[in-house]
Chains A and B, each alone.
Chain A
């Protein structure tokens, strides 16, 4: 589950790239848009013109799951389940979501279900986090984003199914996005270490602020497929780490770091 509390920090960007990364490594992956009414995962994935049915029509049993799943044309093993444009946000029910997830796993053999959570801490976000086994907490190095991530972690440890049913807790990973190492070194931005210390969960990646993210979203190609961009490479590393590989963090120090700063620097 990809979450953040705060809006606009990069959940959908992350969901798309993470799902592509898992599928590229051979895992059958579904990426599900929980942002009912404000769907945009389909745009980032570039499949908006192929949406016929959606998550809500499957929940309401107006369509079968495999009618609603959109197979990605670039990457094997990858499917998108878009959100609907309905204004009624209460159409998702725990029973309905549970049924869809079971079908994805048991009948269709999906290994990973990546859930793109809506912002906030209301029903939609809680629905997305309820069934989570692992959570990727997307956080910008900014005071309000850190605070909202902290609140989401509180909800995960109290209101998720794993908490309610006293199972092992949801495994949470910190992904710091829109990171600017120059500004960190100038003392104008919280460093990844500080964000990590505040939230108390391990870092799974750092994605630098990068123009390639907007370019990627303009054309509907998840940025991880742009191998020349730092953000794309950072997402690739993050997927590898998620799958247990050891990858040192990149793009966390300024490239313009001069000799003086090296000697006296922060």
Chain B
């Protein structure tokens, strides 16, 4: 925001909001860019197994692929009940 906007008490501009949203979107997409092709299938199958035992809502599940040094870490976070923080399955492979 410029000094003029500040003086006039103008609200936060929309370009600023767009910038923040893009930052988050791109960071997320870059972390999964080099994901292996089988990742979606793997994800589906793990979820199918979990769903046999626990009632889960697909919407609540977070899947993350991250790089930690030499390792690739695949993380699935599954909320087991409404008030639990959930459980996390981590799979690590060396690159």
A-to-B contact residues, CB < 8 Å: 142-143, 146-147, 150-151, 154, 158, 184, 186-191, 194, 198, 260-261, 264-266
Within 8 A of A (CB), among B22-47: 22-23, 25-26, 29-30, 33-34
Q: Which B residues are CB-close (under 8 A) to A198?
A: 22-23, 26
A264 in contact with B3 given A147-B22, A198-B22 (CB within 8 Å): yes
Q: Which A residues are CB-close (under 8 A) to B16?
A: 187
Evaluate contact between A187 and B4: CB separation under 8 angstroms.
no
Q: Which A residues are CB-close (under 8 A) to B49?
A: none
Evaluate contact between A264 and B4: CB separation under 8 angstroms.
yes
CB-nearest residue of chain B relative to A157?
B33
Q: Which B residues are CB-close (under 8 A) to A266?
A: 1-2, 5
The distance in angstroms between the C-alpha atoms of A187 and B26, with both chains bound, is 21
A143 in contact with B14 given A150-B29, A260-B4, A266-B2 (CB within 8 Å): no
- A200 CB to closest chain B CB (Å) equals 10
CB-nearest residue of chain A relative to B5?
A187
Q: Which B residues are CB-close (under 8 A) to A158?
A: 34
Evaluate contact between A194 and B19: CB separation under 8 angstroms.
yes
Q: Which A residues are CB-close (under 8 A) to B18?
A: 142-143, 190
* Chief secondary structure at chain A's binding surface: helix
Evaluate contact between A264 and B22: CB separation under 8 angstroms.
no
Chain B 43-67 interface 0/1 with A at a Cβ cutoff of 8 Å (1 = within): 0000000000000000000000000
- B49 CB to closest chain A CB (Å) equals 31
Q: Does B21 contact A (CB under 8 A)?
A: yes
Q: Which B residues are CB-close (under 8 A) to A143?
A: 18, 21-22, 25
Evaluate contact between B15 and A265: CB separation under 8 angstroms.
no
Evaluate contact between A189 and B26: CB separation under 8 angstroms.
no
CB-nearest residue of chain A relative to B18?
A143
CB-nearest residue of chain A relative to B23?
A198
Evaluate contact between A265 and B19: CB separation under 8 angstroms.
no
The distance in angstroms between the C-alpha atoms of A151 and B25, with both chains bound, is 11
A147 in contact with B25 given A154-B33, A187-B13, A188-B15 (CB within 8 Å): yes
A–B Cβ pairs within 8 angstroms, 26 of them: A142-B18, A143-B18, A143-B25, A146-B22, A147-B22, A147-B25, A147-B26, A150-B29, A154-B29, A154-B33, A158-B34, A187-B2, A187-B13, A187-B15, A189-B15, A190-B15, A190-B19, A190-B22, A191-B15, A198-B23, A198-B26, A261-B4, A264-B2, A264-B3, A266-B1, A266-B5
Q: Which B residues are CB-close (under 8 A) to A189?
A: 15
Contact residue among A142, A146, A265 (Cβ-Cβ distance under 8 Å from B2): A265
Q: Which A residues are CB-close (under 8 A) to B4?
A: 260-261, 264-265
A147 in contact with B29 given A190-B18, A260-B4, A264-B2 (CB within 8 Å): yes
The distance in angstroms between the C-alpha atoms of A150 and B34, with both chains bound, is 14
Evaluate contact between B3 and A188: CB separation under 8 angstroms.
no
Contact residue among A146, A186, A260 (Cβ-Cβ distance under 8 Å from B13): A186
The distance in angstroms between the C-alpha atoms of A264 and B8, with both chains bound, is 12
Contact residue among B3, B14, B25, B33 (Cβ-Cβ distance under 8 Å from A187): B14
The 4 A-B residue pairs whose C-beta atoms are closest, nearest first, are: A187-B13, A264-B4, A266-B2, A264-B3
The distance in angstroms between the C-alpha atoms of A142 and B30, with both chains bound, is 19
